[in-house]
Each structure stands twice: as C-alpha cells, then as structure tokens.
Structure 1
Amino acid sequence: MSHIRSIRASALALAVLGALVAGQAGATGFQLREQSVKNLGKSNAGSIVGKDASNVSLNPAAMTNLDKNTFQSDITVIDLTADFVGSGRILGSAHPSAPLTGGNGGDPGDPTVVPNMAAVFPLHGALEGMTIGASVGAPFGLKTEYEPGWVGRYRALTSDVKLVDLTLSAAFKATDGVSVGFGLVYERAEVTLSKAIDFGTAICAGSGNPANCFNTSYPFKPQQLDGAFEVSGDSASLGYVVGAQIAPNDKLAIGFSHRSEIKHDLKGTLDFQNVPALLANDPRFKDGDGGARLVTPAITTLSISYGFSDNFRVLADYQATAWSSLHDVTIKRDTGTVVGSEPFDWKDTDFFSIGAEFDISDAFTIRGGVAQDESPTNDTHRTPRLPDADRMLYSIGATWNMSESLSIDAAFQRITIENPTINLPVDAAAGNTSTLVGEFEGHANLFGVSMQYRF
C-alpha cells in the first residue's frame, strides 16, 4: 500500500505548494500589481512617484505628493484566458502504461475582481510636513478552476488563494524635495485548493501485484475510482514597506521602495472525498490537520518621472521580486512531524516598464505604457496551477478631473504570455502516479476604474 501512503502523507504538501505556484494574470508568479488603476493605464511606469493614494502601500514617502485629505477606491477586473493541449500517462515500474483520459479542462480563468482602497491625510500645525495613510488591498492572489475529469485533474482542479493587506504608513518631508516613509503591513492569507486522486491506481498498485492494474478481472482500475481532496488553510503575519522620494525640481521625481518578505505559518485541514469503501476506515484517509510555511517575496521598486513640458511626462519603472525565497515547502503534521518537502526552485525576476502621460486640459489626462515581466517559473517545476511564462504588457488609460475634489480614472491592459510548457513526471513520493505533458496558450485582459476624492 506504499502508493496510498505516499498520497496521504503528501496531500497537504501538494496543496500548499499549489497555493504558492498558483498565480494570477495580473503579474508573473502570483503577484498582483493592481493597487492603482492610474498605474494600470501606464503599465506601472512611474508607479511610486505619482499623486496617488496607492502610495500608502507602494511607497509611503510619496504620500507627501498629496496636499489634501484623499480617499481612493480602485477596482480591476482580471480576465485570464488559457487553453491547454497535451496528454499524460499512468506509469508504474511493474506494469505497462496507459494514457490519461479527459479533456483540456476548459478555460480555468474566470473574470476576477481585485479591489483596493486607500486614504491619505496630510497633517498640520506642529506636525506640518508629516502625512499618514491607510490602505486595504490584494498584493498577491489567484482564482482558477478546471473542469472535473480533465486530463490534468490529478495535478489541479480548483485553486483559490487570497492575500489581503492592511497597511498603515507615515511619511515625513525632510526638505521641499526629499521625503521618506515607513509602513507596517498586516497580511492575511487564505488558501483553498483541490485536485483529484486516482484511488484505482493506488489500490491496485498497493495490492502486492501491480499487474492487477491492467488485469481485466480485477475490480480496481486506474482512472475508474477517482476521489478528491480539498485543502483549506489560513494565516496572518506582519511585514513592512519603506520608501524615499527625491524631487529636486518640478520636472524630475525619483522614487525608491522596498517591501519586506512576509512569512506565514499556514494552519490547514484536509478533506478527502469519495474515498472507496475499501479505505473508508483507513486512518490515512481521515480528515486531518497540518501546516506549512508560505513566504510572500520581497519587492524592490525604482521609479522615475520626468516632465518634458508642463503637460507631458515620461515615466519608467524597474522592479525586482525575490521569488527565490520560495525554494521549497516543508510540511509538518500538527504534532510537529515532518511529512514531506516539495522543491520549488523559483528564480528572482525583473520587471521593466516605460510610459507617458499627456494633459489634454485641466480636466483630462491620457496615458499609456508598455512593460516586460519575467516569470519565476521553470520547465522542471511548472504546473497547471500556474501556466506562467514571460509576458508583455500594453496599457492605455485616462483621468477625468470632474472637479477640484473628484476625479475618475479608467484603464485597459492587454497581457500576452509566451506559451508555457508542462512536463511533469511521475513522483510517487509526492503522490503523483501519472505524467502530464503539454502546452498552454493564453492571454489576459484587465479593465480598471477608480475614484479619488480630495477634501
């Protein structure tokens, strides 16, 4: 029954690993950059030097760019489209292989809404020069769902990962052109993931005679006794963001920020479904508790804005994301016993963008941008939970200043993704008794709208 034992011991490991690799279309990995619709419209060029309340979490020092109390609400809809073409095989050392059944899984990426809110308050009197702010937003996240019975069901079905930050920040204007800031980040993580289990293969392979898997008279056959498990876990932890801004004149602004990595100790439960009667009393398939560590990576950003005239600005961004902190996932039972470790092996990534803004009048501004975003994934460990690869971003946006107090922003972004390949081998230690080989073709459309109110 070694295959059954392997599946049970590493089920939580696989689910938590899935939480880490399950990315959203807004950025590579599972990062989201949709804190600001204004930034969306210029592909995040100059993302941390603008007059935008999202600076509470992106660069606290740039909150000093706002000279009035400001409330901002941003909503972005991410619509990921992905198609899989491929196949897999059930494999074993003592019996012949057989092809996996099932379709391509459909489109796993339903439209997903990403909301963000922020408020900034310049202080007066004895505290003149200081600005405080608060924001609630989603810097990381995912929601994908494949059709039941698809060819890759033993690797992924549903992935729902939510990370929500509450950030409290303060900034200080050292001189007219220099500001510094600091923010404390409280991050809440919630994870729910599922995948199918091939109980038929597990039973026949553990029967003592693996050839039973393809014996026509044997009642337990591969892919004919599928079950599933669902893992849910949550955690809360603290991090920080620091930033600085230098604006030596009205034309030039340079911003720098660093967001710390945040370590989560997920506590979760595992729910097995459709366990066959033969295994109904097996303690290895009872619902249980476990835990794992999840690390959201450190992010360092450098932004530049330069005004060639009073109404035309060119902007650029460079961002480094330290995905290599996700080198593996070690799973422990609630008793503290280590039950397995899954390799991760992501690399650090670079993001580059350039954009421009043009003020048509005092009431209307248009903008656009293009960016290149590097993926942290690799051909060895890429899974269908994250059909991710390097991508290009193309954006347009506009601002309508309805009055001195109220402005509306809108933006559209198109993301093209290099076709990522999947080439996953059998890994009995991780509970995978089949291969999966194929290629994804996908893209994403992002639509955003926001409101900023100043008083």
Structure 2
Amino acid sequence: MKTDKSIIAALALTSALSTTPALAGGFYVQEQSAKEAGRAYSGEASAADSAATIFFNPAGMTELGGITIEGGGQLLFVDARQENTGSTRTYPGVAGTFPVTGSEGGNPFDQPIPVPSFYASAQVSERVWVGLGVSSPFGVSSGYEDGFFGRYDALDADLLTLNVQPSVAIKLSDNVSIGGGVDVQYIDATLANALPNPSPAAPDGRLEIGGDDISVGFNVGALVKAGAVRFGAHYRSQVKHTLEGTLDVTNLGGPLAPLNGEYDATTPITMPDIFTLSAALDPGGRWRGYATARFYDWSDFDRLDFVAPGFPPTSSPQNYADSMSIAAGGEYDVSEKLTLRAGTMWDESPVGDTFRSTRVPDGDRVWASMGATYALGDHLAVNLAYSHVFVSSEPIARTNVYYGGTAAQTTTVTRSNSTGNADVLAFSIAATF
C-alpha cells in the first residue's frame, strides 16, 4: 500500500500542535539569579547589585567594580495534576464519540528540575565593562505514566536550552549607562504522544519528534539614576529557531501500518520578545525597595508551521495573547554581613483554554518569595532563596484531529481540570576581586 503523504503531514502537525504552544506558553524560565529569586524578580532591570544583571540588564554592570563572578542554580519542584472531565475520541466509520479512559498520569515533572547559571563581569576602563552570562532561559522535563487518559495530547517532553551571552556596558555619565549583548542560543527538544489506531481492539501507536538548532538574538538595556531612585529598561529580542531532526511513527496498525517509519522533519519555534521596566529605591539607609513590570510579545506566535521534505507545508493558527507580569519587593540589611529580602509577583499566562495542553498545563501564577545574602568576607558572599508559586486551576479542552481529510480521520478531545503549584530553592556564590 502506498503511504498517503497528506496523512503524514496532518499527523505530524497534530503532534506539533499539542506540544509547541505549551512550549511557548509555559517554558520561559526566569529563575536566573538567587538574589532576584529572593525578592520575586522585582529588581531585575534596576537592582544592578550582582553579576546576574548581565541577564536582566547588562547596563547594570557599570554599578559593579573590578571583577565580579557569580555561579549557582535553582531547583524547581513542580507538582501538576490532571483530572479527567470527559475526554473522548472518534472511530472512523462509527457515529458518535467514545470515552477515553486511563490513569490520571501522576505528576509529569521530574523532581527536581535543575536550572544552573553563571555570570562574570569585569571593568576594563573607567567607563567600559564586559561580561559573559551562561543560562537556560527555556526548558522542561516531563512525562506521564503509561495509560494516561490524555495520552493523545501528551506523553513526554524534554526541552533544553543553553544561552551564551557576551555583553558590554558603557557608563555615558555618572547617572546614565547603556549595555547590550548577543544571545547565542542552543535548543534541543524531544516531544512524544500516543496515536489513535482505527480499531478499538488495537493498542495505541506512538509519535515522537526530536530536533535541535542554534540561533542568535540580542538584548539591550539602559540604567538611569535620579537621586535615590534608579530606573532600568531592558529588551530581549525574539530568537527564531528551526528545529531539524526526525519524526518517528511506530505501532500503527491496519491501513495506517505503512506510515510507521522515520522521517526527516523541521519545526519552527520562536521565543518571544521580552520588555522589562524596573525601578529601585535606595534612600541610603538599611532598606531598599523594588518594582518591575515585564511584557511578553506572545501575540507574534500566531501560527505554527510544520515542514517535511516531500510533504505539503501545513499551517495552523495559534492566536496567542500578549501577557505581562508585575513584581514588588524589598530588602533590609540586618548587619554588615546579613541582608534579608522578600517579594511577590503576579505572572499572567498567555494561553487560553482552547490551546492549553496537558504537556505543560499553564495558568496564571502568584509568587511568594524570601531570601538572604550572607557575606563570608570582604570578597565572598552566599545567596539563598525560597519561593512558593501558586498556579491557578484551569480547564483543558484540547482537540486534536489525526489523519485529517482521509478515511481514517480521528478526532480526540482531551478534557481535564488542571491543578498545580511549585516550590523553588535557589543558591549562588558570588565573588568580587
């Protein structure tokens, strides 16, 4: 039997639709600094008090003297649960819909998820600083138990990014600094879900897409001081990736059996623009206050394309909405050695009910954070932080159409009530020379 290329194109697109929107909606990782974690990222573009300013606003390097190095990481303990609220599927040639049963999948996230980071800044002249940041701004590792009721939407997801950011900052005057950097970003992703077979007696098939890419973006920032107040602004550009890899189809039976095999595939994925405005109040005593607003340009992610050599290009609308987050925090110097801090943040999800996926069940988040810095001497300090993240309960009603436009067309609807929360531990060591 000759393989129907339109079936493969539709099949591959269905898998991408059930994964990549979740990637765009729920894979941004802002956990890049233990000090910022302790104040709920309220000082991002204006605090300029650690080498991690290279990631949040490289202009802030002009507030650092000599050589500053900071290395550390964060551990994310994410708990997410799915409750089947009436998932269904169709069978070719049979009228009506039929329940999709199975386990609730357990907690899909690895425990813990590590997020390492490293930053180094050096003053090279009276007005010029250079720096290097290594971070992972997007990533996830998840997998549901076998027999999960949402298996046609999601089973496994592993996404890794590595972002290397050489940066420079210039002090234009005593009160105004600018900075910028190049983001060289590597991405590696593997995504999998079950495929419905036409026969009720047949076990599920499986589809797995894997690929990687290296692309380049940029970021620029400014820092302005006005008395006791510092204002910071930072822009991080889109990074447009095209994952190149393979699409593997296994265990399809009956008339779909010829589709089993490995295919070359490319999948475009665009990481969004992010714009940050931040203010810091430092009256010169023991306490400081911070406020930050971030804007995410998710609306540019309006469609998803899947391309496989020899198969027709396929597109599908995504209709993401722009989103934002707002944070406020403060810190207090208990002594010359010990500083305590705390903060809170509201983080809006860009994903609507129609596009939400069990792969990363995104929802609005509220952060409650606290942290501390302890100086071990004149040139060495330890930063610690803890955050609890409250994630809103959200409905999922995910429709996937497999083998569209053919006699084997099958529609699955994953209906779920998604609940979850997260705990985050952060640690770093900072050294100055």
TM-score, L = length of structure 1: 0.89
Does 2:332 correspond to 1:358? yes
SS at match of 1:394: strand
The answer on whether the counterparts of 1:6 and 1:428 sit within 8 Å (CA) in structure 2 is: no
Does 2:315 correspond to 1:341? yes
| Cα deviation, residue 333, structure 1 | 1.3
Q: Which amino acid aligns with 2:40?
A: S
Classify 1:132/1:151 alpha carbon distance in 2 versus 1 (closer, same or farther; 3 Å): same
Classify 1:7/1:441 alpha carbon distance in 2 versus 1 (closer, same or farther; 3 Å): farther
Q: Identify the residue that residue 403 of structure 1 maps to in structure 2.
A: 377
Q: Identify the residue that residue 112 of structure 1 maps to in structure 2.
A: 113
The answer on whether the counterparts of 1:161 and 1:191 sit within 8 Å (CA) in structure 2 is: yes
Does 2:225 correspond to 1:259? no
User: In 2, distance between residues paired with 1:320 and 1:301?
Assistant: 6
Q: Identify the residue that residue 209 of structure 1 maps to in structure 2.
A: none
Does 2:331 correspond to 1:330? no
Q: Which amino acid aligns with 1:264?
A: H
Classify 1:330/1:30 alpha carbon distance in 2 versus 1 (closer, same or farther; 3 Å): same
Classify 1:196/1:6 alpha carbon distance in 2 versus 1 (closer, same or farther; 3 Å): farther
Q: Which amino acid aligns with 1:22?
A: A
* CA RMSD of superposed structures (Å): 2.2
Classify 1:400/1:432 alpha carbon distance in 2 versus 1 (closer, same or farther; 3 Å): farther
Q: Which amino acid aligns with 2:231?
A: I
- Within the candidate set 421, 427, 432, 2:395 is matched to 421
User: In 1, distance between residues paired with 2:145 and 2:286?
Assistant: 50
User: In 1, distance between residues paired with 2:14 and 2:338?
Assistant: 50
The answer for unaligned runs of 5 or more in structure 1 is 202-219
The answer for unaligned runs of 5 or more in structure 2 is none
Does 2:222 correspond to 1:244? yes
Q: Identify the residue that residue 270 of structure 2 maps to in structure 1.
A: 295
User: In 1, distance between residues paired with 2:425 and 2:315?
Assistant: 39
User: In 2, distance between residues paired with 1:432 and 1:366?
Assistant: 57
| Cα deviation, residue 154, structure 1 | 0.9
Q: Which amino acid aligns with 2:211?
A: G
Q: Which amino acid aligns with 2:297?
A: A
User: In 2, distance between residues paired with 1:171 and 1:437?
Assistant: 50
User: In 2, distance between residues paired with 1:408 and 1:278?
Assistant: 62
| Cα deviation, residue 343, structure 1 | 2.5
Q: Which amino acid aligns with 1:185?
A: D
Write out per-residue CA displacement over residues 343-366 of structure 1, whole angstroms, 9 at most, x where no aligned residue. Answer: 321111011000001011110000
User: In 2, distance between residues paired with 1:225 and 1:15?
Assistant: 18
Q: Identify the residue that residue 446 of structure 1 maps to in structure 2.
A: 424
Q: Which amino acid aligns with 1:46?
A: G
The answer on whether the counterparts of 2:192 and 2:206 sit within 8 Å (CA) in structure 1 is: yes
Q: Please, which moves more after superposition, 324-333 or 367-376?
A: 324-333
- Within the candidate set 34, 46, 49, 2:46 is matched to 49
Classify 1:11/1:233 alpha carbon distance in 2 versus 1 (closer, same or farther; 3 Å): farther
User: In 2, distance between residues paired with 1:5 and 1:98?
Assistant: 28
| Cα deviation, residue 386, structure 1 | 2.1
SS at match of 1:338: coil
The answer on whether the counterparts of 1:19 and 1:161 sit within 8 Å (CA) in structure 2 is: no
Q: Which amino acid aligns with 1:435?
A: V
Q: Identify the residue that residue 286 of structure 2 maps to in structure 1.
A: 311
The answer on whether the counterparts of 1:3 and 1:428 sit within 8 Å (CA) in structure 2 is: no
Q: Identify the residue that residue 121 of structure 1 maps to in structure 2.
A: 122
| Cα deviation, residue 160, structure 1 | 0.8
The answer on whether the counterparts of 1:400 and 1:409 sit within 8 Å (CA) in structure 2 is: yes
Write out per-residue CA displacement over residues 270-306 of structure 1, whole angstroms, 9 at most, x where no aligned residue. Answer: 12233448655x2x33210111211000000011110
Q: Which amino acid aligns with 1:436?
A: T
User: In 1, distance between residues paired with 2:430 and 2:318?
Assistant: 40
Q: Identify the residue that residue 40 of structure 1 maps to in structure 2.
A: 37
| Cα deviation, residue 23, structure 1 | 4.7
| Cα deviation, residue 3, structure 1 | 12
Q: How does 1:31-430 map to 2 (within 5 A)?
A: 31-50=28-47, 51-86=49-84, 87-92=86-91, 94-110=94-110, 111-124=112-125, 128-199=126-197, 201=198, 220-221=199-200, 224-249=202-227, 251-276=228-253, 280=257, 282=258, 284-335=259-310, 337-425=311-399, 427-428=401-402
Q: Identify the residue that residue 27 of structure 2 maps to in structure 1.
A: 30
